[in-house]
Amino acid sequence: MDLTPRPESQAPKRRRWMPIIILSLVGVGGVVIVTQFLSSAIDYYCNVDEIGVRSGCDTANRLRVQGTVEQGSLAKLNNTTNFTLVFNGKSLDVKYSGDPGGVFQECVSVVAHGRLVNGKLESNRIEVKHSNEYEAKNKDRLEKSGSAACSQVQG
């Protein structure tokens, strides 16, 4: 029996391109993800009590400030939302142009993006953090606290 290899022309090779294309896209996707993550980290991430204390958490930089919306501080006027962020005994007034989305309310943790101007954070982006606590809605407690999140804080 003749088992010598066939000539090249008689045994055409079919390379499967789809996995190679997908692998290339995966590589590009990975680079995009890492680049976006790193570029989004340009804003200094500061807690309220780190403003003016921690390196970078000052007027020279655009900041992401994390804190809790103080109960009774929320005021919406025209298209502006004003509130006070508190964290670890320190507070910071925030002025946000617009109406924050998500479950924004008093007593929730938020991250406000913006710049410090005259001791006040002028923000153009608000992200609401929610805690890792899950509690059933209770109408009586909501009426007492005035805000759902504050009822959770008060326990």
Partner 1 sequence: MLSQSAPKFSSTGTQATRIVGVLTIVVMTWVVISGLVFTPADVVQGESVRIMYVHVPSAWIAYLAFIVTAIASAFYIFAKRHSLGFDRVAGASAEVGVMFMVITLVTGSLWGRLTWGEFWQWDPRLTTTAFLLVTYIGYLAVRRLDGSIEQRARRSAVIALLAVLEIPLVHFSVVFWRSLHQRATILDPNGDVKMDGLMLFTLFSGVVGFTLVFVWLILHRQRTMLLSDLANQSGLDAAILARQNESVSN
Residues forming contacts to partner 1 in the complex (CB under 8 A) are 1-3, 15-16, 18-20, 22-23, 26-27, 29-30, 33-34, 36-37, 39-41, 45, 66, 100-105, 108, 111, 126-138, 141-142, 148-149, 151-152
CA-based nearest residue to 114, from 146, 67, 54: 67
In the complex, least distance from residue 34 CB atom to partner 1, rounded to whole angstroms: 7
Cβ(109)–Cβ(68) below 8 Å:
yes
Q: Is the Cβ of residue 62 or residue 119 nearer to partner 1 in the bound state?
A: 62
Dist CA 103 CA 115 (whole Å): 23
Q: Is the Cβ of residue 30 or residue 119 nearer to partner 1 in the bound state?
A: 30
Q: Is the Cβ of residue 115 or residue 153 nearer to partner 1 in the bound state?
A: 153
In the complex, least distance from residue 150 CB atom to partner 1, rounded to whole angstroms: 10
Buried b (16+ CB within 10 A) or exposed e, 70-108: bbeebeeeeeebebbbbbeeebbebebeeebeeebbbbb
In the complex, least distance from residue 123 CB atom to partner 1, rounded to whole angstroms: 13
